[in-house]
Amino acid sequence: MKCNKLILLGLLALAPQTLASEADFTQPVKVTANSSSGDFTNRVLEYRDNVVIVQGSLRIEADRLILESSEDKSRQVMIATGNPATYEQVMENGLMARAEAREIRYDVNTQLLTMSGNAQLSQADSLVRGETISYNARLQRLTAEGSKDEQITTIFMPKEEKKVEPEPEAPAPAPAQEPQP
């Protein structure tokens, strides 16, 4: 299967805006779901049905979440799946970034976010859509891959120029009145 692999200028227009708020990463992580199970020997937790993950402004919703980690925490991976799984977070610039895909994988240690299966990432009027989108937050690099049937799509809007409104004209001064005797 041949994939179209592109790193476009349009992606660069979106990437600088995707810096997550550092304050989010200092907040506690809250996971809610209808059910959960754990394999403590292999350090794997699974949450199922109506899964919601919240950390600061970050919010992920999924049908299923797998959390894998090593004992020394050198490996910590979250894998959210759904139809679709969704992600949203307020970025440093104050804008909301939104993403969706059948699978959203986040490697905590490498800060690599990988969305696969009809993936799309948007912020304001900018959009990247493809089979797979990866964003490395540490290196601030974004890549997108299409499938054999469909290329990636990137839509980005140019920066709006501020319209300068003409200043209203000051009213003409009233004619001077002569003093009354």
Residue 20 lies in a domain: yes
CATH code at 134?
Answer: 2.60.450.10
E strand spans, 124-173: 126-136, 141-145, 153-155
| pLDDT by 10s per residue, the chain, length 181 | 322 222 222 232 333 334 556 677 678 888 999 999 999 899 999 999 999 988 888 899 999 999 998 888 788 899 999 999 999 988 777 888 889 999 999 888 888 889 999 999 888 778 888 899 998 877 778 888 888 887 777 777 676 666 666 666 666 666 666 666 5
pTM for the full model?
0.69
Number of domains in the chain: 1
Indicate the residue type of 139: L
Residue 145 lies in a domain: yes
Residue 84 lies in a domain: yes
Owning domain of residue 83: 5-29+70-155
- Scanning the structure block, which residue is given the tokens 């964003």? 135
Give the per-residue pLDDT at 18.
43
Give the per-residue pLDDT at 3.
29
Residue 43 lies in a domain: no
Residue 118 lies in a domain: yes
Give the per-residue pLDDT at 32.
94
Give the per-residue pLDDT at 73.
79
Are 121 and 115 in contact, with CB atoms under 8 Å apart?
A: yes
Structure tokens at 47: 């949450």
Give the per-residue pLDDT at 177.
65
Residue 16 lies in a domain: yes
Give the per-residue pLDDT at 140.
75
Residue 54 lies in a domain: no
Residue 24 lies in a domain: yes
Residue 42 Cα to chain centre, angstroms: 30
